[in-house]
Amino acid sequence: MSKPESISVFFVALVSAAVHGGAAVLFVPILSFLLLCWGTATAQIKPSTEVDDGMVFAVIAPALCAAFGFAVGALAALAHNMLAQNQRQLSVEVIEPSQMRTASLSKVA
């Protein structure tokens, strides 16, 4: 990056929250269903409270993942802005005239 620009922290946090929440909406119910299938016995006499806890987790997990994504996205954007601000400082550029070799101007042979 030659001249990094600052980015919108809120926009990056929202996009990160949407990606994390969307991934949780897709994958957490599938994983919860698989754990439900593997965790219950074939002939269960009394109802298990673990099933209810797993289903509640499947409902709450996308909101928790979206909140986590929002926080991580905001921290990443803040870190980028701090690094970009440090790279935009003026620096001293020294240009030296090029030196020609005198042997290159003479005849060869």
Q: Which amino acid is at 70?
A: F
> What percent of the chain stands above pLDDT 90?
35
pLDDT value at residue 11: 95
pLDDT at 43 over 70: no
pLDDT value at residue 23: 94
Q: Print the domain residue range for 42.
A: 9-92
Residue 26 lies in a domain: yes
Express each pLDDT in 45-101 by its tens digit: 666 666 677 778 888 999 999 999 999 999 999 999 988 877 766 667 778 877 766
26 vs 20: CA distance, rounded Å? 10
Residue 67 lies in a domain: yes
Residue 29 lies in a domain: yes
53 vs 97: CA distance, rounded Å? 75
Give the total number of structural domains in the chain: 1
